[in-house]
């Protein structure tokens, strides 16, 4: 990272240039914490294309994302530039159907049948 690009600039650029971004510990292929694993798992299962940012790879990004969103924990999900929430919020939204509604409203492709499977499995 160059001195002209701050962590905030890098985060803003990532959030704005990807429809769905998950700031997480580890990667979507190899999550490094249970909460990150759960959110990545939901997105992967629902077939959502998303960018993953491993906050463990860069301490400035790890702290910067908390400052950027004013949210103290990782993971953090962004959809079309909007902060959605962390693991608990994403889990609740998945089970209530709110996440589906958000994806539909924002024009993000996902597998509705898979979303229904998650809900029926957790009913």
Q: What number of CA atoms fall less than 13 Å from residue 43's CA on the CB side?
A: 31
Residue 80 CA to its chain's centroid (Å):
11
* pLDDT, tens digit, 9 for 90 and up, residues 16-63: 999 999 999 999 999 999 999 999 999 999 999 999 999 999 999 999
Please give the pLDDT value at position 4: 56
> Would the pTM of this model clear 0.85, i.e. be above it?
yes
Contact present, 56 and 32 (Cβ < 8 Å): yes
Domains of the chain: 7-121 (3.40.30.10)
Dist CA 13 CA 6 (whole Å): 11
C-alpha angle 17-77-49 in degrees, rounded to nearest 5: 60
pLDDT digits (tens, 9 = 90+) for 84-101: 999 999 999 999 999 999
């Amino acid at each position: 990272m160059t001195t002209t690009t701050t962590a905030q600039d890098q985060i803003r650029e990532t959030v704005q240039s990807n429809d769905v971004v998950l700031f997480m510990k580890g990667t979507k292929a190899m999550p490094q914490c249970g909460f990150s694993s759960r959110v990545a798992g939901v997105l992967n299962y629902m077939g959502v294309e998303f960018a993953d940012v491993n906050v463990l790879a860069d301490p400035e990004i790890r702290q910067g994302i908390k400052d950027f969103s004013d949210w103290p924990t990782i993971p953090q999900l962004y959809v079309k530039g909007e902060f959605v929430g962390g693991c608990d919020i994403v889990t609740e939204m998945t089970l209530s159907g709110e996440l589906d509604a958000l994806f539909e409203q924002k024009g993000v492709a996902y597998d509705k049948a898979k979303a229904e499977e998650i809900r029926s499995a957790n009913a």
